[in-house]
């Protein structure tokens, strides 16, 4: 049974107070009202996430932070009479009822009003009155109001609502000529004829439908139309104008548009899912272009180091290691064992054949999950260069033996057992290996880098699996910090002028400070750390799609399925890109101030990992982000297909023993 009380406190402390809402009456009201009572059945567990949730009639309950912000700027007092336009589930009215004397709420959907009345009666909130109607026309018989809050965006401030304000009354309303993109305005009535307006920043609300708002078909209502005034260009129009169409993926010119990033030290290429063919193929084309024409020699990926090292030996024409099993056997196997990645590895190997060994581009894993593979790699290396040190390492790693095959159970074990022995042992082993750096590196610098990084990985993985059972941001931050430090280690090992391409999910390469990761959950990521370390020498490029298919599982360690990707949400960045009508494009908003300003305010963005749950997509896979701050550029494919996963049945006759997957 979820602890809703604890979740409510966490919501107020992290999502609301930490983001600047300070009014103690607002914070206390949010702590009192059970938000789980105001969402549809089955969505209670998501009630305290900072995002909108479906409530029926194609409407959503507003995110908690926006409810809190609007109530705070309305400056509610215990004696106030308040009008809410767009009551929805009744949640905001319930919160306001804990502060104000009386709340009147209007909603145009009768079914929502009936449901809201039942919820409020159940909770005993008797100072709220609801009715069905056109909110743009107000509630004249109950006027004047000390505060009016409108939970939908109109093209202008409805004159009727201004007139229903008391002297000194405050009207809070989103206003904008583009639906789903507005600025939040505060209108204060100073006298019978004077009003003061304040702009509170960009927001994204559903349209305000009514006589003095938008019509049902999306046009401005006739009674609210100002002759000679145009709605102007929409955001999809602006995206279409700025979009640079991309050729077919098989066209050798596909990577040419990305030459503009050739002078960067690090180019980070994202993906909106771990199972989409077009994302792999596009990253391959861009990477090969940067390697061949612009001297990039590092390809670093969201892959486990020991597994990637096998591929690295293949693409750089180095001798293969004798490992007990082929790489990438851990879930999700299809993330790297797919036809698209194999094609890239083969092309990179062919390209490297043209270069001398020091110029060849390597493939490096940044991730830390394969602890057993890293332990094996360290021991294999030490057996060759220092057998005595190998014996000491076996003793140090011995305490991890029970968990090597299933390290996720290690975190559970150390909650009740003393883990300091393992923690200290793996740290000592990492230090011992690094202290002999000069001696070992003289034998084979590449092999030493591999062993040293594996030792670092074991130390990081031990801590990661230990803390993951406590939850929170610490485990995520440890993992991404490890990935960033691994990238730094590779760049240092390859030389001061080395340039790298990074392959990882959008959630890792988009700057976390401009997503819910950073603003709500206090998480950082590789993209943020690269910007802080490399500044303008880092280019963060996100990828997205509207619909198609994807390779994903229903749950962790589940079987891969090819799933249909639902059409993007109407309030998302993806829907804006779809509506622009260009099937494939590169969007670089840095040179278009109007477009950047139009896109900068946070809206929904889709994130699909190795698990995809279409039935709860809004709650499971969307989060608020500011796309032009999160990324430097965005690559768009309107319709995409799942990767082609590979198994032993895909092996071709005559495949060499050095083939990276040993199929």
Mean pLDDT of 292-312: 92
Alpha-carbon span 625 to 514, nearest angstrom: 6
Q: ∠ CA(77), CA(80), CA(82), 5° rounding?
A: 115
Cα dihedral sign, 79-81-87-90: positive
Mean pLDDT of 486-500: 91
Mean pLDDT of 244-248: 95
Range 189-197, long-range pairs (CB < 8 A, 24+ positions): 189/162, 189/165, 191/167, 192/167, 195/162, 197/157
Which of 615, 18, 650 lies closest to 337, judged by CA? Answer: 650
pLDDT higher at 100 or 476: 100
Mean pLDDT of 428-452: 54
Alpha-carbon span 134 to 298, nearest angstrom: 60
Q: Provide the pLDDT for residue 225.
A: 43
Q: Provide the pLDDT for residue 476.
A: 75
pLDDT higher at 423 or 621: 621
Alpha-carbon span 315 to 336, nearest angstrom: 15
The residues near 249 (Cβ < 8 Å, ≥ 6 apart) are 278, 281, 282, 285
Which of 394, 276, 293 lies closest to 332, judged by CA? Answer: 276
Alpha-carbon span 588 to 595, nearest angstrom: 10
Least confident range of 86-90, 146-150, 232-236? 232-236
The tens digit of pLDDT for each residue in 529-574 reads: 999 999 999 999 999 999 999 999 988 668 999 999 999 998 899 9
On the question of pLDDT at 208 being above 70, the answer is yes
Alpha-carbon span 225 to 89, nearest angstrom: 30
Q: Provide the pLDDT for residue 231.
A: 44
Q: Which residue has the tokens 């991890």?
A: 400
Alpha-carbon span 272 to 541, nearest angstrom: 11
Can you read off the two tokens belonging to residue 387?
Answer: 């057998």
Alpha-carbon span 297 to 352, nearest angstrom: 10
The residues near 121 (Cβ < 8 Å, ≥ 6 apart) are none
On the question of pLDDT at 222 being above 70, the answer is no
Per the DSSP assignment, residues forming a β-bridge with 517 are none
Q: Which residue has the tokens 């022995």?
A: 421
Mean pLDDT of 298-323: 87
On the question of pLDDT at 278 being above 90, the answer is yes
User: Which positions are annotated as active-site residues?
Assistant: 62
On the question of pLDDT at 23 being above 80, the answer is yes
On the question of pLDDT at 332 being above 80, the answer is yes
Q: What's the pTM value of the predicted model, to 2 decimals?
A: 0.61
On the question of pLDDT at 395 being above 60, the answer is no
Q: Provide the pLDDT for residue 45.
A: 81
Q: Provide the pLDDT for residue 324.
A: 59
On the question of pLDDT at 658 being above 60, the answer is no
Q: What is the mean pLDDT of the chain?
A: 82
- CA-CA distances (angstroms) from residue 471 to 63, 244, 407, 624? 23, 42, 16, 21
Mean pLDDT of 111-125: 94
On the question of pLDDT at 331 being above 80, the answer is no
Q: Provide the pLDDT for residue 381.
A: 58
Domains in the chain: ranges and CATH: 64-225 (3.40.50.150), 241-368+474-484+493-650 (3.40.1660.10)
Alpha-carbon span 332 to 393, nearest angstrom: 30
Q: Is 245 helix (H, G, I), strand (E, B) or coil?
A: strand
Q: Provide the pLDDT for residue 168.
A: 97
Provide the phi-psi class of 548: left if phi over 0, else alpha when psi is between -120 and 50, else beta: left
On the question of pLDDT at 501 being above 90, the answer is yes
Q: Which among 267-281, 325-339, 401-415 has the top mean pLDDT?
A: 267-281
Can you read off the two tokens belonging to residue 290?
Answer: 């940067």
Q: Is 61 helix (H, G, I), strand (E, B) or coil?
A: strand
Q: Provide the pLDDT for residue 131.
A: 94
Can you read off the two tokens belonging to residue 512?
Answer: 């976390």
pLDDT higher at 392 or 110: 110
Confirm if 139 and 115 have CB atoms less than 8 A apart.
no
Mean pLDDT of 224-244: 70
Which letter, b or e, does each residue of 53-64 get, where b requires 16 or more Cβ atoms within 10 Å of its Cβ?
bbbeeebbbbbb
Question: Cα 411 from chain centroid?
Answer: 25
Q: Provide the pLDDT for residue 489.
A: 86
Least confident range of 22-26, 89-93, 240-244, 301-305? 301-305
Q: Which residue has the tokens 């966490």?
A: 10
Q: Provide the pLDDT for residue 389.
A: 62
On the question of pLDDT at 409 being above 50, the answer is no
Q: Provide the pLDDT for residue 431.
A: 54
Confirm if 257 and 539 have CB atoms less than 8 A apart.
no
Alpha-carbon span 331 to 329, nearest angstrom: 7
Per the DSSP assignment, residues forming a β-bridge with 585 are 245, 636
The residues near 169 (Cβ < 8 Å, ≥ 6 apart) are 144, 145, 146, 147, 148, 188, 189
Mean pLDDT of 648-661: 46
Can you read off the two tokens belonging to residue 589?
Answer: 């908003």
Can you read off the two tokens belonging to residue 623?
Answer: 């989060």
The tens digit of pLDDT for each residue in 363-383 reads: 999 886 654 555 555 566 566
Strands (E), 476-606: 500-503, 538-552, 561-565, 584-587, 603-606
Least confident range of 55-64, 148-157, 191-200? 55-64
Q: Provide the pLDDT for residue 400.
A: 37
Q: Is 555 exposed, middle or buried (0-12, 13-18, 19+ CB in 10 A)?
A: exposed
Q: Which among 14-18, 314-318, 427-431 has the top mean pLDDT?
A: 314-318
pLDDT band with cut points at 50, 70 and 90 for residue 272: very high
What is the chain's Cα-based Rg? 28
Which of 582, 563, 578, 659 lies closest to 620, judged by CA? Answer: 563
Least confident range of 95-109, 355-369, 440-454? 440-454
Alpha-carbon span 436 to 444, nearest angstrom: 13
pLDDT band with cut points at 50, 70 and 90 for residue 590: confident
Cα dihedral sign, 200-206-210-216: positive
Q: Which residue has the tokens 């950047």?
A: 596
Alpha-carbon span 65 to 62, nearest angstrom: 8
**Portion of the chain with pLDDT greater than 90, in percent:** 54
Q: Provide the pLDDT for residue 445.
A: 56
Confirm if 660 and 347 have CB atoms less than 8 A apart.
no
On the question of pLDDT at 28 being above 80, the answer is yes
Length of the chain: 663
Which of 151, 138, 150, 195 lies closest to 169, judged by CA? Answer: 195
Q: Provide the pLDDT for residue 425.
A: 55
Which of 160, 172, 179 lies closest to 231, judged by CA? Answer: 179
Which of 98, 201, 90, 103 lies closest to 148, judged by CA? Answer: 103
Least confident range of 156-165, 262-271, 317-326? 317-326
């Amino acid at each position: 049974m979820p602890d809703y009380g604890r979740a409510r406190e966490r919501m107020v402390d992290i999502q609301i107070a930490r983001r600047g809402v300070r009014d103690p009456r607002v914070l206390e009201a949010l702590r009192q009202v059970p938000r789980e009572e105001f969402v549809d059945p089955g969505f209670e567990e998501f009630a305290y996430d900072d995002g909108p949730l479906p409530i029926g009639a194609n409407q959503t309950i507003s995110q908690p932070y926006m409810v809190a912000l609007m109530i705070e700027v309305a400056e509610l007092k215990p004696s106030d009479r308040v009008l809410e336009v767009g009551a929805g589930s009744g949640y905001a009215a319930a919160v306001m009822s804990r502060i104000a004397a009386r709340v009147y709420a209007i909603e145009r959907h009768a079914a929502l009003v009936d449901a809201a009345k039942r919820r409020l009666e159940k909770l005993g909130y008797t100072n709220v009155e609801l009715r069905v109607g056109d909110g743009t026309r107000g509630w004249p018989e109950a006027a004047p109001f000390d505060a009016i809050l409108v939970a939908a965006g109109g093209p202008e401030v409805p004159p009727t609502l201004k007139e229903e304000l008391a002297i000194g009354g405050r009207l809070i309303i989103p206003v904008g000529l583009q639906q789903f993109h507005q600025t939040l305005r505060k209108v204060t009535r100073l006298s019978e004829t004077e009003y003061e307006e304040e702009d509170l920043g960009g927001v994204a609300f559903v349209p305000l439908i009514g006589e003095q708002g938008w019509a049902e078909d999306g046009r401005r209502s006739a009674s609210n139309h100002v002759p000679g005034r145009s709605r102007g260009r929409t955001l999809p129009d602006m995206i279409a104008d700025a979009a640079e169409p991309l050729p077919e993926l098989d066209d050798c010119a596909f990577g040419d548009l990305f030459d503009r990033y050739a002078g960067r030290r690090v180019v980070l290429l994202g993906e909106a899912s771990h199972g989409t063919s077009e994302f792999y193929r596009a990253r391959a084309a861009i990477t090969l272009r940067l390697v061949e024409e612009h001297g990039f020699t590092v390809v670093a990926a969201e892959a486990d180091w020991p597994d990637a090292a096998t591929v690295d030996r293949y693409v750089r024409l180095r001798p293969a290691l004798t490992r007990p099993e082929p790489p990438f056997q851990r879930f999700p196997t299809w993330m790297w064992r797919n036809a698209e990645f194999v094609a890239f590895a083969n092309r990179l190997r062919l390209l490297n054949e043209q270069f001398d060994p020091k110029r060849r581009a390597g493939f490096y894993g940044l991730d830390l999950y394969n602890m057993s593979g890293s332990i094996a790699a360290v021991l294999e290396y030490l057996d060759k260069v220092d057998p005595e040190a190998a014996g000491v390492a076996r003793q140090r790693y011995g305490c991890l033996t029970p968990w090597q095959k299933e390290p996720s159970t290690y975190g559970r074990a150390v909650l009740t057992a003393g883990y300091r022995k393992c923690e200290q042992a793996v740290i000592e082993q990492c230090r011992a290996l690094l202290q002999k750096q000069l001696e070992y590196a003289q034998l084979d610098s590449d092999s030493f880098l591999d062993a040293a990084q594996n030792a670092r990985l074991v130390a990081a993985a031990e801590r990661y699996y230990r803390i993951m059972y406590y939850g929170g941001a610490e485990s995520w931050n440890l993992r991404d910090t490890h990935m960033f430090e691994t990238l730094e280690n590779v760049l240092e090992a390859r030389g001061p002028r080395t340039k790298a391409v990074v392959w990882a999910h959008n959630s890792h390469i988009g700057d976390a400070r401009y997503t819910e990761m950073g603003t709500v959950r206090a998480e950082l990521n590789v993209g943020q750390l690269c910007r802080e370390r490399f500044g303008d020498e880092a280019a963060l490029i996100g990828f997205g799609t509207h619909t198609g298919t994807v390779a994903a599982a229903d749950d962790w360690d589940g079987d891969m399925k090819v799933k249909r990707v639902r059409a993007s949400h109407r309030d998302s960045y993806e829907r804006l890109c779809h509506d622009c009508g260009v099937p494939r494009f590169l969007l670089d908003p840095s040179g278009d101030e109007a477009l950047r300003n139009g896109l900068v305010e946070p809206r929904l963005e889709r994130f699909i990992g190795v698990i995809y749950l279409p039935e709860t997509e809004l709650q499971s896979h969307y989060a608020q982000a500011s796309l032009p701050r999160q990324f430097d550029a965005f690559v768009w494919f309107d319709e995409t297909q799942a990767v082609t996963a590979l198994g032993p049945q895909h092996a071709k006759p005559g495949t060499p023993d050095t083939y990276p997957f040993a199929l």
